[in-house]
Amino acid sequence: MYLLRRAWAELRDEVLALPSRTLVLAWVVALLALPAVYGDPYVMRILTMSCLFAIFAASWDLLAGYTGQVNFGHALFFGAGAYTSALVSLKLGVTPWASVFAGAAMATLFGFLAGYLCLRLRGSYLSLATLAFPLIALGLLFAFPDFSGGELGISGLRRLTPSATGNYYVAAVSMLLVVFGLVDGWRTPSSASCCMRSATTRWRRAPPASTRRATS
């Protein structure tokens, strides 16, 4: 009973006190309750894809929105994780849940390599350099259609759950955890967020290399 009273007090003071947070809470409740009201498989599939692309948008906003660095390479990380997960499950017979972690590891590796090569750049140079990576990856996928499926992609994959509603809940809950985790992590004064903010401030205040050479 004590935990319920404390939860209600936190909800009343931290969420319901602000109209914007109340709207977000209503949106979350509607998102989770939608399958019980309208569970059409086609609609569930569309909403599942929407949740996946919401995660994609949140990851792009973390870099472009908070640090000001416009990066067009997120499609590479997104695609590398998706294709790795699909190929591991299809070619090696790994369960879909395990292949998700393989895809995440590959996306992390591609992100580290691209970041090591490109994050010394900034402005339009960073944007153009990161734009080249997904274009190169797309060309490689089209060059080996027997392996990657070419323009048609990969089909015949096993689902995470047997039903469309179950897949929707997996995507929706994952999206909510990622989005709110990013927001809370940025607003909370943790060591990682503080380091990111200080690095962003230095990056924005540093003069261009041409200016430094001219004044030296």
Q: How confident is the model at residue 55 (pLDDT cuts 50, 70, 90)?
A: confident
Lowest mean pLDDT among 44-58, 87-101, 119-133, 190-204: 190-204
Mean pLDDT of 35-61: 87
Count of C-beta atoms within a 10 Å radius of residue 126 = 18
What letter represents residue 216's amino acid? S
What letter represents residue 25's amino acid? L
Q: Is the pLDDT of residue 212 over 70?
A: no
Structure tokens at 54: 């919401």
- Write down the mean pLDDT value for the chain: 79
Mean pLDDT of 52-62: 85
For residue 210, the model assigns a pLDDT of 46
For residue 186, the model assigns a pLDDT of 61
| 90-101 pLDDT, tens digit each | 888 888 888 989
Q: Is the pLDDT of residue 211 over 50?
A: no
> pTM, whole model, 2 decimals?
0.72
C-alpha separations of 116 from 108, 112, 131 in Å = 12, 6, 15
Domain assignments of the chain as residue spans, ordered by start: 70-158
Q: Give me the percent of the chain exceeding a pLDDT of 70.
A: 81
